[in-house]
Amino acid sequence: MNSRSHAAELPLAAAPGVRDRRDSLPARLALVAEVVRSGFLELWAHKLRSILTLTLLMLGVFTLVVLTSVIDGVIDKVQTGFAGLAWDGTAILQPRDPKTTEDQKRFAMSPGLRFDDLPRLTTPHPGVTAFLPRATKRTTIRVAGGTERVFVTGVTPDYAVFMNRPVALGRGLTADDARRRSTVAVVGATLASKLFGGADPVGRDVVIDGVPWRIVGVTAPLMIFSEELYYDANGLMVPLETYVLRLDADRKLTHLAVKLRAKRDLEEVSSMLLSRSRQAHHGIEDTEIKDLDAEAAKGYSQFMEEMRSWRVILSALAGTVLLVGGVGVLSVMLISYSSRRYEIGLRKAMGASDTEILFQFLLEALVLASIGALLGTVGGAFLCQKLSHFFPWGLVVNPLGLVAAWGVALGLALVFGLYPALRAAKLSPMAAMR
């Protein structure tokens, strides 16, 4: 049998015409098609083992696709939220908390930051684009359906423009409202939905401290990234002049925001504001400056650091699942090698080279990994589509994450499929067919 096998093999190996036909493109395409077909047959022949292996590969790819897409979506959403803060080039003058008993005694001698300080504090300065005072209190309002505890905020007409509070329905506050001390209000989108459902609240009245206020506008929905945004979304904005006249006898301000013409003017403008405040408060330094631009940058940096940590953790999780899937590919290919020894020997006896056998087994491993990766990609894309409406710019599959998922899955298939492929390639025809 040994001599007959070698006799059958030598002419085929020596015949140039036969070798040329086997090396031709149609022959190689036919071989690839046959390998793919045999790969599916192997999966079908060992259903449970194949399902477990495909599930692990699918979950690994699914996790990578979804996590990269979701993290990108979260970053887009947070970037949109930070942009909505309108904190760029903004500093605020706010009351300073006393740190010692001596501070408490001195601060008690000052009237604090008040509406009456504004003529002195808001004197035009070349480094300031706008002064934006704000006063907020929580109180009970009455509407047709009952009562509700809400935040009422007094602001100037410029506040909505410079602090990014666009109006979706009706109009915003105007200089005429401030001049006339009009009892008008712009309601936050969240509060409007809570009080009036889907109905248009413009033109309706709410009663605050026994006084009816006419709703003239509704803000656009806001992404809540600060305390002030939460207050504005869940409350009412009214003219500051009317606020101190009707709602706050102490005429207290929460803070005074200033929009800088250039960030380099921060130190000069801060010194100017503190000096003016000290003069208004009889020399008592009971206010401080807060750089919102720096606060936003710090918050965004911390957020990005957290996102990097989550990306590493979730990538490690997905990689572990894919690694276990790679071990599954190794198991499948070893069992395939053991059950197909006779077939391998027969092909070698008929002239198949070691390289062709190696290629066949590696291609079968890639077919297995590709099926799992395809299922994971489809599942990940479907979930991303379902989650899309939660993100401001939608949620699309991250192409880099998709390439990485497929690359890892196919790379692991090659690595774990290499050992069974080498064993099959090195198998002696005589040993296989014995």
Q: How confident is the model over 303-320, as pLDDT tens digits? A: 888 888 888 887 788 788
- The answer on pLDDT for 21 being more than 60 is no
- pLDDT, position 63: 82
Residue 393 lies in a domain: yes
Residue 159 lies in a domain: yes
In whole angstroms, give the CA distance from residue 127 to residue 133.
Answer: 17
- 36 pLDDT band, cuts 50/70/90, is low
118 and 249 both lie in a single domain: yes
202 and 233 both lie in a single domain: yes
73 and 158 both lie in a single domain: no
- pLDDT, position 146: 83
Rg of the chain (C-alpha set): 36
Residue 291 lies in a domain: no
- 6 pLDDT band, cuts 50/70/90, is very low
218 and 106 both lie in a single domain: yes
Q: Which of 220, 253, 285 is the last residue before a domain boundary?
A: 285
112 and 239 both lie in a single domain: yes
110-119, 385-394, 405-414, range with the lowest pLDDT: 385-394
274 and 176 both lie in a single domain: yes
Residue 142 lies in a domain: yes
Q: Note whether 321 and 56 are within 8 A (CB).
A: yes
Backbone angles phi, psi at 144, to 5 degrees: -60, -30
361 and 235 both lie in a single domain: no
189 and 164 both lie in a single domain: yes
Task: Kindly state the average pLDDT of the residues 251-255.
Answer: 94
- pLDDT, position 13: 41
The pTM of the full predicted model, rounded to 2 decimals, is: 0.64
Residue 92 lies in a domain: no
- The answer on pLDDT for 287 being more than 70 is yes
In whole angstroms, give the CA distance from residue 42 to residue 366.
Answer: 13
- pLDDT, position 314: 79
Which sign does the torsion angle of CA 137, 295, 308, 401 carry? positive
318 and 208 both lie in a single domain: no
Residue span of the structural domain in which 115 resides: 97-285
11-20, 110-119, 206-215, range with the lowest pLDDT: 11-20
Q: Which of 285, 315, 337 is the last residue before a domain boundary?
A: 285
Report how many domains make up the chain. Answer: 2
Considering only residues 114 and 21, tell me which one the structure prediction assigns the higher pLDDT: 114
Output 427-431 pairs: Cβ under 8 A, ≥24 positions apart.
Answer: 427/341, 427/344, 427/345, 427/348, 427/357, 428/345, 428/348, 429/5, 429/9, 429/345, 429/346, 429/348, 429/349, 430/1, 430/2, 430/5, 430/345, 431/345
Backbone angles phi, psi at 151, to 5 degrees: -95, 130
20-29, 177-186, 218-227, range with the lowest pLDDT: 20-29
Pick from 74-78, 83-87, 206-210, 396-400 the range whose average pLDDT is largest: 206-210
For residue 43, the one-letter residue type is L
Structure tokens at 277: 């405040």
Residue 292 lies in a domain: no
Residue 76 lies in a domain: yes
Residue 168 lies in a domain: yes
Considering only residues 167 and 327, tell me which one the structure prediction assigns the higher pLDDT: 167
In whole angstroms, give the CA distance from residue 419 to residue 425.
Answer: 10
Task: Kindly state the average pLDDT of the residues 152-156.
Answer: 96
74 and 113 both lie in a single domain: no
Q: Note whether 79 and 296 are within 8 A (CB).
A: no
208 and 336 both lie in a single domain: no
168 and 268 both lie in a single domain: yes
Which residue's structure tokens are 């080039």?
89
Task: Kindly state the average pLDDT of the residues 326-352.
Answer: 78
Q: Note whether 413 and 365 are within 8 A (CB).
A: yes
Q: Which of 244, 260, 285 is the last residue before a domain boundary?
A: 285
